[in-house]
Amino acid sequence: MQADRSRGLTRSEAANLQIRDGWESVMLAITCAKCSRRFTPTTEEIQTVLAASEGQKHALLQCPHCGKANKVAPERLKQAVRFTPATTEPKPDAEGVDAPV
């Protein structure tokens, strides 16, 4: 736990932090208010919901199990996106096509 605090994480943030294969990823677990099942939205879903809920008090994340929309604070979503590692896309060749083999 000391290593997590040295990185500036709170105890709850450190509990949500998982290290897999050398990459750090934040898991935002949401419990559905209707079916009480937990689900984890993808980073793309979180960014889409954040864009749609710009300037509102809460964002609505849809449960994949029952379909109910669950209220989530935008600050919580922004925090999850902030701790997500940046994705690196492969760079194309100078010509834009793969080199012949």
What is the residue-averaged pLDDT of the chain? 75
pTM: 0.57
Number of domains in the chain: 1
**Where are the extended beta strands (E) located within 1-101?**
17-20, 23-26, 30-31, 38-39, 59-62, 69-72
Q: Using the Cα atoms of residue 21, residue 27, residue 32 and residue 38 in order, give the sign of their dihedral.
A: positive
Closest CA to 81 of 10, 25, 18, 12: 25
Does 18 reside within a domain? yes
Is residue 43 a contact partner of residue 51, using CB atoms and an 8 Å limit?
A: no
Can you give the residue range of the structural domain that contains 32?
2-82
Q: Using the Cα atoms of residue 23, residue 28, residue 31 and residue 34 in order, give the sign of their dihedral.
A: negative
- Averaged over 45-50, what is the pLDDT? 92
Does 92 reside within a domain? no
pLDDT higher than threshold 70 for residue 70: yes
